[in-house]
């Protein structure tokens, strides 16, 4: 069971992806069929599928094998550079979240994108920091924004939000204007109290101009 407060969430039908290979922006560096064949030969059932959309391929990997797949791509296929790790809320009922990994081989001049999917009831993915140290902050950011934990991560803490913040701001149910009262923020005026509305101009009106503020006690004492 999640330890955080669960907000109301309304699922909508998922639109079917439209296949197609006529994307003028698609680059040959992202065409990695031979790498995918090697992955399928080595990991078999851990490769759950290959999506091709807009001329680009994405490999869907079983979550518990993601570190093994990354290690194979780094050690045996030359993908030495982890350019990005991120997450997304797919807004569906099963396997709601996914984590993506973009890897680069400078030697081959190729890029490959991997994805793992995780269900809301078991929000855990093995860390790849043992393979790519650069994943450290990326995985922390995914945890902070979506609540997905990376098992084995050396420092699994929130990155931008306070540790006691109850919510995950990149989830689809999180309001665009934040949740008033959930987070103490700097005052709206130099000597004002902390304010608890992330977008006070939307809820309470504009911030007072400096000439509308009462005289500063600090200035008077000086």
Give helix then strand counts, H and E, for the chain. 5, 7
What is residue 122's DSSP assignment? S
Q: Is the separation of the CB atoms in 68 and 43 below 8 Å?
A: yes
In whole angstroms, give the CA distance from residue 1 to residue 185: 30
What average pLDDT does the chain have?
88
Beta strand 81-89 with 97-105: parallel, antiparallel or unpaired? antiparallel
pLDDT at 199 (0 to 100): 86
In whole angstroms, give the CA distance from residue 155 to residue 169: 20
End-to-end CA distance of the chain: 55
- Residue 153 φ/ψ, nearest 5 degrees: -65, 135
Q: Is the separation of the CB atoms in 58 and 91 below 8 Å?
A: no
Q: Is the separation of the CB atoms in 87 and 99 below 8 Å?
A: yes
Residue 11 has pLDDT above 60, yes or no: no
In whole angstroms, give the CA distance from residue 50 to residue 57: 7
Highest mean pLDDT among 23-27, 122-126, 218-222 belongs to: 122-126
pLDDT in tens, 93-109: 899 999 999 999 999 99
pLDDT in tens, 154-171: 999 999 999 999 999 999
Mean pLDDT (whole number) for 110-125: 96
Report the half-sphere exposure of 102 (CA within 13 A, side-chain side).
Answer: 10
In whole angstroms, give the CA distance from residue 16 to residue 27: 24
pTM for the full predicted model? 0.84
pLDDT in tens, 190-219: 888 898 888 888 888 888 787 887 777 766
| Residue 113 host element (H or E) | strand 110-118
Residue 81 has pLDDT above 80, yes or no: yes
Which of 18-27, 67-76, 119-128 shows the lowest mean pLDDT across its residues? 18-27
Q: Could you tell me which of 62, 64, 66, 120 has the C-alpha nearest to residue 91?
A: 120
């Amino acid at each position: 069971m999640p330890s955080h407060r669960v907000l109301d969430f309304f699922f909508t039908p998922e639109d079917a992806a439209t296949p197609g290979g006529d994307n003028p922006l698609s680059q040959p560096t992202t065409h990695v069929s031979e790498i995918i064949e090697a992955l399928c030969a080595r990991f078999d059932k851990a490769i759950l599928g290959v999506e091709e959309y807009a001329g680009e391929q994405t490999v869907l990997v079983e979550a518990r094998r993601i570190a093994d797949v990354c290690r194979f791509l780094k050690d045996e296929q030359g993908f030495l550079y982890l350019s990005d790790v991120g997450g997304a809320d797919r807004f569906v009922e099963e396997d709601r979240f996914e984590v993506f990994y973009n890897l680069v081989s400078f030697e081959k001049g190729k890029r490959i994108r991997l994805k793992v999917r995780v269900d809301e009831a078991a929000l855990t993915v093995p860390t790849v920091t043992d393979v790519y140290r650069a994943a450290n902050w990326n995985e922390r950011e995914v945890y902070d924004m979506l609540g997905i934990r990376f098992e084995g991560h050396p420092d699994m803490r929130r990155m931008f939000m306070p540790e006691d913040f109850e919510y995950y701001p990149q989830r689809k149910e999180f309001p665009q204007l934040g949740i008033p009262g959930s987070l103490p923020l700097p005052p709206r005026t130099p000597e004002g109290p902390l304010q608890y509305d992330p977008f006070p101009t939307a809820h309470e009106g504009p911030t007072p101009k400096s000439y509308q503020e009462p005289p500063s006690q600090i200035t008077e004492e000086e």
